[in-house]
Amino acid sequence: MDATAPRYERPPISLIESDIHPYGISLFVGGMEGASDLELLKANGVTTVINCAVNLDFNYVSDPLSPQGQPVDYGYGDIRYYKLGLIDGPGNPETMFVAGYYLLRGALDQVLPERHTYPRRERGNVLVNCRGGRSRSVALTALFLHLTLPDRYPRLEDALDHVRSQRQLRRDEWFETPKPMLVEAVRRAAGWIRMIESDRTGTAPLQAAV
């Protein structure tokens, strides 16, 4: 391999949206290289990681509570870490993107108590990742933008194209980034979430733009 060649086909993490109302945070998408680079995450103000990949895990523990010699460390990490275990293809239960949307929104809405057992209380930017940052993380991020910023992304396709462009995915790979069955799952999830939110607020369901 040429030592002067770029390490990645695209950046390890990509800024997708800045200053998201009402949270005031920026949202990034990346792959396993970016999600595992703590210096890069801290340099970009990322305090929270949402891992969408069922076949990938990270150990962010920097302040272990595990006894010496414990085979697997557990304890407090430098990153607030959430896991949504999606398959990059068929096989996911239909409701998993509904869960993913509320997991991401919950990570932003949570207010952690002022106790020593919650040492990572700072609010910062969020990285959504999967193995390559091309499919599962793109799908979840597009769903979130479409529902959270409907004036900017009235159609799901608008949000998908924005994430693809910001992630620097090549146009010739857009047909599989995200995988088609994930796009369809996200489309169904958007409809279900609108019904959930309308029932919760007592308002008429929002209609998707066509």
Specify the 3-state DSSP secondary structure of 209. coil
| Nearest residue to 127 (alpha-carbon basis) of 143, 110, 104, 147 | 104
CA dihedral 63, 64, 65, 67 (to 10 degrees): -140
- Predicted confidence at residue 210, as pLDDT, reads 38
> What HEC string does 44-90 produce?
CCEEEEEEEECCCCCCCEEEECCCCCCCCCCEEECCEEEEEEECCCC
Closest CA to 47 of 105, 103, 107, 106: 107
Q: Tokens at residue 57, please?
A: 């895990």
Q: Is the peptide bond before 150 cis (omega within 30 degrees of 0)?
A: no
State yes or no: pLDDT of 2 exceeds 50: no
Query: Where are the domains positioned within the chain?
Result: 13-201
Give the per-residue pLDDT at 204.
55
Choice among 115-124, 129-138, 195-204 with the minimum mean pLDDT: 195-204
The per-residue pLDDT for range 154-185, each reduced to its tens digit, is 999 999 999 999 999 999 999 999 999 999 99
For 58-95, what is each residue's pLDDT tens digit? 999 999 999 988 899 999 999 999 999 999 999 999 89
Pick one of 3.90.190.10, 3.20.20.70, 3.40.640.10, 3.30.429.10 as the CATH number of 13-201: 3.90.190.10
Give the confidence band of 9 by pLDDT, cuts at 50, 70, 90.
confident
